[in-house]
A and B are shown apart, each in its own frame.
Chain A
Amino acid sequence: MSALAISGAPAISRQLARLPGWTVLAVWTAAVLLPLYILVVSCFKTTAEIYDNRLGLPQSWALDNFVNAWTRADLGHNFINSLIVTGGAVILTIVVSAMAAYPLSRYRLGWNAVMLGLFLSGIMLPIRLASVELFTLMRNLGLLDSLTGLILVYAAIRIPFAVFIFANFMRVLPSELDEAARMDGAGEVRILFQIILPTVKPAVSIVAIFTAIAVWNDFFFPLIFIFDDRYKTVPLAISVFVGQFRTDWGLVFASLAISMAPILIMYCLLARQIREGVGAGGGMK
């Protein structure tokens, strides 16, 4: 990219020519960070203080809003539900998708392409449109108002993308890898979980990251499957808070902050993998 610099031009005028570009980038950075800054400082303010002091730092870093959101509004309960559903869906998706991708990418079955195609067609399917029939099915299976039900539905939705990623990574591994193990008498289950899966760790982390984000953030399926407050997940609870506590702005801001915290931490730790994963496949959403 340095090759694109205007060769020969003095350094100062070169930097000056880039000023408009830097300004554009700075403006959008502010457009992203300012709302998030307001979100963070408002968490520590009372509603009156939010009106008086819009952009400044709070008078004190009191945690009242967080405590109220966690206990009075019972967001803590929703938070644990979301953790269970996200963790369960990620593990289930990884295990069954890796199992399916292994023979589809490494055996010669004669029907690999057809089966792979069946899975891949699911990446684009608009599953929300099936929600009426899905509702009936879940009711008949006794999976309404159930975290297990949500885990199964999310795994089902994420399997196509996961099979696609695992199959792509497994296909390019050298065939000696499993053949040598087979010669040593290792079973197929052991070959998959002790030899193949550890070698495709990047695929595991891509699937884990994007499944976790999608499941943690989803709002539609809890909205139609969960009625009992005990089983509500974070996004569903938030959608209720916004109306219910509309006069208590500090509490709503604090609950937004709590609900984005896990994703924020993950993003800070894994920003590079996420950037590369999206850039490579666009495989999000």
Chain B
Amino acid sequence: MTTLRRTTSLKHTQQRMAVLFILPALAVYALFVLYPLAMSLWGSFFVWKGLRMVEFAGLSNFSRLFVFPSGARLYGALWHNTAWFFGIMVFQNGIGLLFAWLLFLRDKGAAFFQSVFFFPAVLSPVIVGALWRLLLAPGGVVEWALNGLGLHQGSLTVLGNSHTALAMLIAVDAWNWMGLPVLIYTAGLRQISGQIFEAAKLDGAGNARMLFSIALPLLMPALGTLTTLSFINTFNQFDIVYVMQGVQGNPSYSTDTLVTYFYRLAFGAEGAVGITDIGLALALGTLLFLILSIGTLLMLRFFDRRTVQL
């Protein structure tokens, strides 16, 4: 009887204490994350006057998003984000796999190379962007080096050229985050039992064969994590574009992304006069939210199905 009473009173105390303990975190999180996010999604169905909601608008913000003059910006940005994602998948997560495999095959130096490769990832994208903007500028050190090596003549204008600027930004982003795939793949490779590789070698498999036929299928969880992270990061891309090319995604919107377009609509830098269009901004936000949630769920499911259990 006494034990029972003690347990019930403990249960009561615990319920009360739990509420008190959880409340501060929940209050801050709900107020500054959940509430504004929910209000933004809700607000995308309304007509806005400045920062005030005026009347219900149904889907009219969304239909405005896809037609002139917004349509060109939207499709441009959507294409740039998609290209950015595939660029990162190949040049960051693909080459990163090669680096991780090379480190895995060597008993020495792995910690050193991992630390060096990961270092740019702890820097602010603002610093990385500013640094590369200086290095790649006309008269900068890259131009000087390419001229000296005879690979290029005259002034280097890769950031001012609408055909090359986006590729440069993707390369800078890959430089920034190369350490991430290297660390995640090496952690994944170390979880694979050494016996599997031993057996494969006895069967006469070479290094390349072991990487693609044995390691890669077992690295599906690592590849899933990286693909999802890269997807979320590239579709949130803002800092590097802002610092290197300006918020308009210069030259002539060739490096514009969904978030830079969102920022211009929301905080008044779109078009020559720089007026805000909150309704359009929120509709774009909702669209991006849907792209990110559906994309992430599909990717997680895709990689979950392909995970090999041994």
Which residues in A have some Cβ–Cβ distance to B below 8 Å? 1-4, 18, 21, 24-25, 28-29, 31-33, 35-36, 38-39, 51, 54-55, 92, 95-97, 99-100, 102-104, 107-109, 115, 118-119, 122, 124-137, 152-153, 155-157, 159-160, 163, 188, 192, 213, 216-220, 223-224, 234-235, 238-239, 241-242, 249, 252-253, 256, 259-260, 263, 266-267, 271-272, 274-275, 278-280, 282, 284-285
In contact, B281 and A156 (Cβ under 8 angstroms): no
Per CB-CB distance, the 5 closest pairs between chain A and chain B, nearest first, are A279-B187, A217-B124, A156-B32, A103-B18, A100-B25
Closest to B224 in A: A282
Q: Which residues of B contact A99 (CB under 8 A)?
A: 21-22, 24-25
Looking at the assembled complex, report how far the CB atom of A189 sits from the nearest CB atom of chain B, in whole angstroms.
Answer: 8
B233 on the interface (CB 8 Å rule)?
A: yes
CB 8 Å contact bits of B79-111 with A (1 = contact, 0 = none)? 000000000000000000011001111110101
Q: Nearest A residue to B135 by beta-carbon distance?
A: A35
Chain B's nearest CB lies how many Å from the CB of A100? 4
A107 in contact with B229 given A96-B25, A97-B25, A216-B124 (CB within 8 Å): no
Determine if A31 and B22 form an interchain contact, defined as CB atoms under 8 angstroms apart: no
Q: Contact partner of A109 among B18, B175, B184, CB < 8 A? A: B18
Chain B: interface size category: 35 or more
A39 cross-chain contacts in B, Cβ below 8 A: 131
* Complex contact A103–B126 (CB within 8 A): no
Cα of A122 to Cα of B34 in the assembled complex, Å: 8
A129 adjacent to B262 (CB under 8 Å): yes
Contact of B126 among A31, A122, A125, A217 (CB under 8 A): A217
With an 8 A cutoff between CB atoms, is B144 at the interface?
A: yes
B302 on interface, CB distance cutoff 8 Å:
no
Q: What separation, in Å, do the CA atoms of A130 and B22 have in the docked complex?
A: 24
Task: Tell which of A2, A55, A188 has the most Cβ of chain B within 10 Å.
Answer: A188
B180 contact from A2, A102, A278, Cβ within 8 A:
A278
A239 touches B43 (CB 8 A): no
Taking a contact as CB atoms under 8 Å apart, the answer to whether B40 and A253 are in contact is no
Residues on the A chain within 8 Å of B135, using CB: 35, 38
> What's the A-B contact tally at a CB cutoff of 8 Å?
258
Give Cα distance in the complex from A97 to B121, angstroms: 25
| Chain A neighbourhood of B229, CB < 8 A | 282, 285
Q: Note all chain B residues with C-beta closer than 8 A to A136.
A: 51
* Complex alpha-carbon distance, A256 and B126, angstroms: 9
* 13 pairs, CB–CB < 8 Å, chain A vs chain B: A21-B106, A28-B178, A36-B119, A130-B33, A134-B36, A163-B25, A217-B125, A217-B126, A224-B263, A238-B124, A260-B127, A278-B179, A285-B229
Q: A51-B139, A152-B32 are in contact. Are A235 and B127 (CB under 8 A)?
A: yes
A29 to B239, Cβ gap below 8 A?
no
CB-CB under 8 A from A267, the residues of chain B are: 115, 119, 122
Q: How far is the CA of A32 from the CA of B124 in the complex (A)?
A: 15
Instruction: Choose among A28, A153, A216, A263 the residue that contacts B32 (Cβ–Cβ < 8 A).
Output: A153
Bound together, the chains give a CA A269 to CA B159 distance in angstroms of 36
CB distance from B278 to the nearest CB of A (A): 6
The answer to whether A259 and B124 have CB atoms under 8 Å apart is yes
Q: Among A35, A216, A219, point to the contact of B242 (Cβ < 8 A).
A: A219
> Which of B36, B135, B186, B238 has the most chain A CB atoms closer than 10 A to its own CB?
B36
Contact (A278, B24) CB under 8 Å given A1-B104, A28-B178, A256-B130: no
| CB of A241 to closest CB in B, whole Å | 8
A158–B293 alpha-carbon span in the complex (Å): 19
B168 at the A interface (CB under 8 A): no
Residues of chain B contacted by A3 (CB below 8 angstroms): 194, 197-198
Asked if B39 is an interface residue, CB under 8 A from chain A, the answer is yes
Please judge, given known A-B contacts A18-B106, A137-B32, whether A29 and B113 are in contact too, CB under 8 Å. yes
Which residues of chain A are near B139, meaning CB under 8 Å? Answer: 51
A137 (CB) vs chain B CBs: closest residue: B36
CB–CB B187/A252 < 8 A: no
